């Protein structure tokens, strides 16, 4: 399908990590893009490269507080729903916040999209819904959330498909594996390995590697994720779930090799898989999507922008132990269920 100048897309969380890459892709395709973000996890500077572009507008706001007749959604063709709380570890101690934002916030966005009569809503789901999964993991794998973040994202996805079934709202869901890239969060809670390691590298401190570092993650560059979302919107298919990962798991030790630096070991966290590995056969076959950024190239791009992490929190084994105390307390006795 040829995309025209009149196309309008809403990106919730569009000043955030993946959302800002979504904005890049949409503007490249000549969309008019409306960003809704509360700037708790995102930064307006993530959109600075588009300053002065009349096709881009920004509104500060919480997804839970949007009126169903909001002008942000009026006449929109697509809605890309990224807004939500993305940090995993704090969800153990703050489950109400996660449920409120990731579930009820999603319901509010669904109602706005329904009132606007959008052509397609694409939901940013999480591969964490699979839990301690068999690999490579297909979309029909049993669901087994291990912590509140995973549960909240899955319940948000359930709401998306409920609106599809009951209200005929056209939707698709993309389950993101381990996204990385420039513009990932540089402030806030202990979380994604890239942000932790980059700040440690800047400070000349050792990388805090969980366990032996042989655990693997299906790292996928953020711009590849954004292209997958556009493919999931610009299709006649609806009511579908698509995994998005590179399909080539990389070990934490391999990441350390590419970053370069000393290592200190910290305890492995319960409830986390040894390997994440997306079976991407469905999205490749049905939507023709392929990842374009090799892992080594993606890491090099991030290192070129390492100064972006200079003001990020500097984590060490002691502060990580404090941040994950609730996690260990809640999950250590549960076993690998």
The residues that are catalytic are: 149
d(CA 88, CA 269): 12
Query: Residues near 327 by Cβ (< 8 Å), separated by ≥ 6?
Result: 89, 92, 147, 269, 270, 271
d(CA 73, CA 68): 9
| Nearest residue to 175 (alpha-carbon basis) of 272, 265, 240 | 240
Between the alpha carbon of residue 194 and those of residues 117, 201, 255, the distances in Å are: 39, 10, 9
Q: Where are the alpha helices (DSSP H) in the chain?
A: 17-28, 95-99, 105-116, 148-167, 193-203, 222-233, 252-259, 281-287, 295-304, 317-323, 325-331
Backbone angles phi and psi of 140, in degrees to 5: -95, 15
| Nearest residue to 5 (alpha-carbon basis) of 25, 24, 36, 33 | 33
């Amino acid at each position: 399908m040829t995309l025209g100048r009149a196309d309008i897309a809403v990106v919730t969380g569009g000043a955030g990590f993946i959302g800002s890459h979504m904005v890049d892709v949409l503007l490249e395709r000549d969309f008019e893009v409306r960003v809704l973000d509360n700037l708790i996890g995102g930064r307006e500077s993530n959109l600075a490269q588009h300053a002065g572009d009349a096709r881009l507008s920004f509104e500060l706001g919480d997804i839970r507080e949007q009126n169903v007749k909001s002008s942000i959604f009026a006449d929109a063709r697509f809605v890309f729903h990224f807004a939500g709380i993305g940090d995993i570890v704090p969800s153990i101690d703050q489950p109400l916040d996660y449920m409120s934002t990731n579930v009820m916030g999603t319901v509010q966005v669904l109602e706005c999209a329904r009132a606007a009569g959008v052509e397609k809503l694409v939901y940013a789901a999480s591969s964490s819904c699979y839990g301690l999964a068999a690999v490579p993991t297909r979309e029909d794998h049993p669901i087994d959330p291990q912590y509140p973040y995973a549960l909240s994202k899955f319940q948000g996805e359930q709401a998306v498909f409920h609106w599809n079934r009951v209200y005929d709202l056209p939707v698709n869901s993309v389950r993101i594996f381990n996204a990385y890239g420039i513009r990932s969060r540089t402030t806030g809670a202990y979380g994604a390995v890239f942000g932790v390691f980059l700040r440690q590298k800047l400070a000349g401190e050792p990388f805090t590697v969980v366990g032996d570092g042989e655990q693997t993650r299906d790292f996928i560059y953020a711009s590849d994720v954004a292209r997958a979302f556009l493919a999931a919107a610009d299709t006649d298919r609806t009511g579908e779930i698509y995994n998005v990962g590179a399909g080539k798991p990389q070990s934490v030790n391999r990441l350390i090799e590419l970053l370069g630096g000393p290592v200190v070991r910290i305890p492995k966290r319960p409830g986390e898989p040894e390997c994440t590995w997306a079976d991407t056969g469905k999205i490749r076959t049905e939507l023709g999507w392929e990842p374009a950024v090799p892992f080594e190239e993606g890491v090099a791009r991030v290192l070129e922008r390492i100064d972006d992490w200079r003001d990020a929190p500097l984590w060490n084994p002691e502060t990580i132990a404090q941040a994950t105390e609730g996690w260990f307390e809640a999950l250590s006795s549960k076993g690998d269920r």
